[in-house]
Amino acid sequence: MKKFILIICLFLLNIIYGQNTDLIKKYKAGINWNNGLVNNNEPAVVINPLNDKNIIIATNYRLLDSSNYNLFTQKEIGIYYSNNKGENWMYTNLPVQNGYTKYTDPSLDFDASGNIYCAYLAIGDNKSGVYLNKRSNGSISWSDFPIKVVEFNNSSAVDKPYIYVNKQNNRIYVTYSENTNKIKLSWSYTNNLEFTTPVTVSESSDTECNGAIPITDRDNNVYVVYIVNPSQHTTSSIKIAKSTTLGNTFGFHKTISQFERIGYKANIYNGTATVLGPSDGKYFRVNSFPSISINNLDINDINKIYAVWAENVDIGEGSGKSAKINLSVSSDGGVNWTTKTVYSDDDTNEQFFPAISISKEGIINILYDHLDTKTFNIVYTKLLTSVDGGNEFNKTDLGNFDVNNLDVNNNFIGDYITIRTKDTTAVGVWTSGYNVRNYNPEIINAAIIPIKKSILVGNYIEDHYGGKMKVDGDTVQINSNGNHILFEPFKTHTFQIVDEIYNYNNKKYKYRNWDNENYSQNRNLYFTFTEGFVPEIKSSYKPTYPLTVNNYLEGGSGGSYDVIWTNSNIQYPNQASGSNFDAFDNKQNGDEYKIIINSLTRQAAIKN
């Protein structure tokens, strides 16, 4: 009798299998315009709610002087748009207003009817303001007459506008910082575009605050997350304000985290600055601005709020501090928050500019930049994906650039990057450098990221998962709780049993069937995943009983026999006489086996 010993190693860590870089399409969204003589940074992105192939990007658009690459001839808002999910890009500038010479800090959002809005900051010699422009659904042109949200007779009175459209009630919310000591909010209905007198969002004690982002939940409550960032010391706070009156008043404030902000250096560029970079290399400005997203679609997590930011943390063992991304989550309308560092990377590396977006199934995508401190000049853009609410993250590298090669504004690569999600697609946009002949402008990269479904996959054996499985052709070791694996929607995925027999608790368990038998062929299973489809892929292993068959030939035994499991008509040929056949020990299923003696073509039926 032959004995086979199968040794199965169970991983202690939950393996997340997915986020194949080959499935993420990456584009340089504006490099060829004006012969590449354009500096772009601080990108915003949005996906048309009526057509996920229509993607819009807004940037700080700086046309370089062809005779001096350190000078700009235009300081406008550039718009890049694609109607085929990034395969091709077109370009336009937003119309400008008289008396303003610089336009910056764009943000974007669509309304439910497919109209798009861009909020931005306009600056002149003696005035500044927040403006909004609209492009109607189906049009290719933006309005020649932008809408004033707020205006001041001071060139530096206002900063950092952000826009959000509540698609349930057609309200447009715009937030901004006023004189750095107040966060303000103004709103308008999409049908009249007349903005209300701004209300104060922040508390009176919130001096030097900025980076305010508005968002609404399913109950039309309005939230604004922002940073309190005093310049006289390194301690900052991420705070959130809540309005239960549709944004007319803000009666609730909560400090999510108080921390040391990132990249704090003294006496750089003739003063105190928040920068990253080596002492002998090229610094660039960074910040700890927050990003926010709310899960308004998943029935199990409606109104769950997610906020991310970067803060300095002690990496231990005398190594000092490093910038890391923190994720905080609230399930009770912002009252209580749980916070964790999302991904350690290499401890000494710096993580900054995080942006977060939640898919309709609760999959978290965080886009961020990462400074490699081993070389001191390579910035990598990375994507973190979590399918379990932020407990574990899978990382995808999207690209990198050398900051020492940038020609223009060498202490500034922008203050933020952006990611947005719609249904089965996320789009991330970020700033990087690019070599064009003998100059190196900043460009905008876009990544089209398929939102994959989280499916629990495993071989179920008595009271746990184990063994191995082939998933789309790759062998996966199954851990004791099963594996949460990401799958791209609308594609056919295959699953195959690797181990026929599994040893557990001194018993032998044998593959019996898939729980989803209608889509299986023997030991193989296949699915085409669509919206709201199968939550789990599970094979069942059942206990066995050793069935022994002998051929007695004049006092001895020999030869072989075939076993046919009649329940599924699966044949196990060439069993050696006298060896054990692992029959299912499962009487309630009425398992029957047909024994065929090969040499005599005789048959016998055995029923457990």
Query: How many CB atoms are located within 10 Å of the residue 37 CB?
Result: 17
Q: What is the pLDDT of residue 603?
A: 57
Of 415, 474, 468, 408, give the one whose Cα is nearest residue 441: 408
Q: What is the mean pLDDT of the chain?
A: 84
In this predicted structure, which of 55-64, 207-216, 571-580 has the lowest mean pLDDT? Answer: 571-580
Residue 485 phi, psi dihedral angles, 5° rounding: -120, 140
What are the tokens at 250? 């803000």
Q: Does domain 94-260 have CATH number 2.120.10.10?
A: yes
CA geometry: angle at 549 spanning 545 and 554, to 5°?
160
pLDDT tens profile 554-577: 555 667 888 888 877 778 888 888
Average pLDDT over residues 507-523: 79
User: How far is residue 95's CA from residue 114's CA, in Å, rounded to a whole number?
Assistant: 20
Percent pLDDT > 90 in the chain is: 48
Residue ranges per structural domain of the chain: 24-33+263-450, 94-260, 454-535, 549-607
Q: What is the pLDDT of residue 244?
A: 98
Percent pLDDT > 70 in the chain is: 85
301 pLDDT more than 80? no
Strand blocks (E) in 20-54: 25-28, 38-47
Would you place residue 372 in the very low, low, confident or very high pLDDT band (cuts 50, 70, 90)?
confident
Would you place residue 2 in the very low, low, confident or very high pLDDT band (cuts 50, 70, 90)?
very low
Higher pLDDT, 419 or 586: 419
Would you place residue 452 in the very low, low, confident or very high pLDDT band (cuts 50, 70, 90)?
confident
Q: What is the pLDDT of residue 10?
A: 20
Q: CA–CA distance from 352 to each of 308, 342, 362 (Å)?
A: 10, 12, 23
- Are β-strands 580-584 and 209-216 bridged in parallel, bridged antiparallel, or unpaired? unpaired
Average pLDDT over residues 50-61: 94
Would you place residue 8 in the very low, low, confident or very high pLDDT band (cuts 50, 70, 90)?
very low
User: How far is residue 560's CA from residue 549's CA, in Å, rounded to a whole number?
Assistant: 9
Return the percent helix, strand and coil in the chain, to nearest 5: 5, 55, 45
CA geometry: angle at 121 spanning 116 and 124, to 5°?
135
6 pLDDT more than 50? no
* 409 torsion bin: left (phi>0), alpha (psi -120 to 50), beta (else): left
Spatial contact of 440 and 434, defined as CB atoms under 8 Å apart: yes
Spatial contact of 44 and 107, defined as CB atoms under 8 Å apart: yes
Name the range with the highest mean pLDDT among 399-403, 468-472, 573-577.
Answer: 468-472
Amino acid at 121: L
Amino acid at 81: Y
